[in-house]
């Protein structure tokens, strides 16, 4: 019998551009899962909420808990409003929340957006808190999207996501592996913010710049890039290791710094891919906001072996793949099926993760 689910996926990424909402259908025919993103929207954060989320890492325990509750309520309100506006229904909501802390080596990961408040406000059952179980089992708690890559995108050799940071997933020695490569949009958005821009549209500013070789070399020498996978990183690393480097080049033209970052990002992506067999024709699926940066995509080709074909899907999938995969992880959680792979995160075992809040 064909099983089907209608789910609302909620995702807020490290780039802090807003909340991604994806209304998705999933159905399993025999052993194969299929999906369709019916509708996706990004709800921009207002300046106050964006600032609160950005600085959540510095809050006292009490302030942090208060934000966790109020943001959960806000998520529930956005989900409810979206469903009303679009005249849609769902079986449940799957919410990633917004990561405020991610230090897996200390057993710490925290995603803001209380599930109980979300469920109460939306008046719909919800699955949330997908990362903590894996971290408690000595895993990185990231990346989590590879379960979706394995079950929904098996036709591609590599799945690359370019959000605030870059991560990649692939089948290697008959198991799914994945890791955070390093930087993607985070430094680019950081550099254009003083210009009153939220991002460098089409990479036009970066394209007009020139390479700053000392900065390019300094970025490539960052210790994170020497680590073996599984590995994951986030905003803490960007603040502690990357911003100080960028500050040394404050007097340079921003176009040149942006150009150097794009070259660096693509150099590291190509390095990550070249660790694996690219002697035969291989297909690289690219999603996330970075896939819309025309200059970065053109430049990436120059770094990759010519056996690697870059596949850019339609804009809906580029923008909402992560939200869709969290919706899918919610389906797997409801089924009691594995939704986090230890081969990806380095945990002691696979997990069926997520807290279920049932609305009655």
Residue-wise DSSP of 7-36: EEEEEE-TT-S-EEEEEEEEEEETTEEEEE
Q: Domain residue spans in the chain?
A: 4-138+345-357, 149-317
- On the question of a common fold for 4-138+345-357 and 149-317, the answer reads yes
Would you say residue 13 has pLDDT above 90? no
CATH architecture of 149-317: 2-Layer Sandwich (3.30)
User: What was the pLDDT predicted at 251?
Assistant: 95
pLDDT in tens, 94-128: 999 999 998 999 999 999 999 999 999 999 999 99
Best-predicted range by mean pLDDT (6-20, 71-85, 136-150):
71-85
Domain 4-138+345-357 has CATH 3.90.1150.10: no
User: What was the pLDDT predicted at 317?
Assistant: 98
Would you say residue 249 has pLDDT above 60? yes
Give the model's confidence band at 202: pLDDT under 50 very low, under 70 low, under 90 confident, else very high: very high
What is the torsion angle, in degrees rounded to the nearest 10, for the CA atoms of residue 67, residue 71, residue 73 and residue 79?
A: 180
When the pLDDT of each residue in the chain is averaged and rounded to a whole number, the result is: 96
pLDDT in tens, 51-92: 999 999 999 999 999 999 999 999 999 999 999 999 999 999
Q: What is the mean pLDDT of residues 239-254?
A: 96
User: What was the pLDDT predicted at 60?
Assistant: 97
Name the residue among 72, 85, 76, 5 with its Cα closest to residue 39: 85
What is the torsion angle, in degrees rounded to the nearest 10, for the CA atoms of residue 144, residue 146, residue 148 and residue 149?
A: 160
- Name the region of 304 (left: φ>0; alpha: ψ -120 to 50; beta: rest): beta
Integer Cα distance of 301 and 310 in angstroms? 8
Residue with tokens 């919410």: 95
Would you say residue 16 has pLDDT above 90? no
Considering the chain, what percentage of its residues have pLDDT values greater than 70?
100
Contacts 24+ apart (CB under 8 A), 337-340: 338/147, 339/130, 339/144, 339/147, 340/130, 340/133, 340/134, 340/139, 340/144, 340/147
Q: What is the mean pLDDT of residues 341-346?
A: 94
Integer Cα distance of 279 and 330 in angstroms? 37
**Going by DSSP bridges, is the β-strand pair 3-12/19-29 parallel, antiparallel, or unpaired?**
antiparallel
Would you say residue 1 has pLDDT above 60? no
Give the model's confidence band at 37: pLDDT under 50 very low, under 70 low, under 90 confident, else very high: very high
Q: Please, which residues bridge with residue 309 across strands?
A: 283
Give the model's confidence band at 229: pLDDT under 50 very low, under 70 low, under 90 confident, else very high: confident
């Amino acid at each position: 019998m064909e099983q089907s689910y209608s789910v609302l996926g909620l995702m807020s990424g490290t780039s802090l551009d807003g909340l991604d909402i994806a209304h998705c259908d999933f159905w399993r025919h025999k052993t194969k899962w299929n999906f369709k993103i019916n509708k996706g929207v990004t709800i921009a954060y207002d300046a106050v909420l964006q600032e609160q989320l950005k600085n959540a890492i510095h809050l006292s325990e009490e302030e942090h808990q208060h934000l966790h509750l109020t943001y959960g309520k806000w998520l529930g309100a956005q989900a409810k409003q979206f469903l009303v506006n679009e005249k849609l229904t769902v079986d449940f909501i799957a919410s990633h929340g917004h990561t405020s802390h991610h230090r897996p080596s200390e057993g710490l990961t925290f995603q803001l957006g209380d599930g109980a408040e979300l469920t109460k406000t939306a008046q719909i059952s919800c699955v949330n808190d997908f990362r903590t179980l894996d971290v408690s089992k000595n895993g990185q708690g990231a990346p989590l999207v590879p379960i979706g890559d394995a079950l929904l995108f098996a036709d591609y050799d590599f799945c690359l996501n370019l959000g605030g940071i870059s991560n990649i997933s692939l089948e290697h020695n008959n198991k799914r592996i994945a890791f955070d490569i390093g930087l993607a949009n985070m430094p680019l958005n950081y550099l254009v913010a003083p210009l009153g821009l939220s991002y460098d549209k089409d990479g036009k500013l970066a394209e007009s710049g020139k390479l700053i070789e000392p900065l390019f070399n300094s970025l490539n020498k960052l210790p994170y890039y020497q680590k073996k996978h599984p590995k994951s990183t986030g905003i803490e690393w960007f603040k502690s290791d990357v911003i100080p480097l960028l500050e040394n080049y404050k007097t340079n033209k921003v176009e040149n710094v942006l150009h150097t970052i794009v070259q660096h990002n693509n150099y590291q992506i190509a390095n990550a891919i070249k660790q694996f067999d690219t002697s035969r024709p291989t297909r690289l699926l690219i999603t996330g906001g970075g896939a819309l940066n025309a200059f970065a995509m053109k430049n990436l080709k120059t770094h990759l072996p010519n056996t690697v074909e870059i596949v850019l899907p339609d804009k809906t999938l580029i923008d909402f793949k992560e939200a869709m995969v969290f919706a899918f992880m919610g389906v797997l959680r409801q089924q009691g099926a594995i939704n986090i792979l230890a081969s990806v995160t380095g945990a002691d075992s696979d997990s069926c993760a997520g807290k279920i809040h049932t609305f009655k």
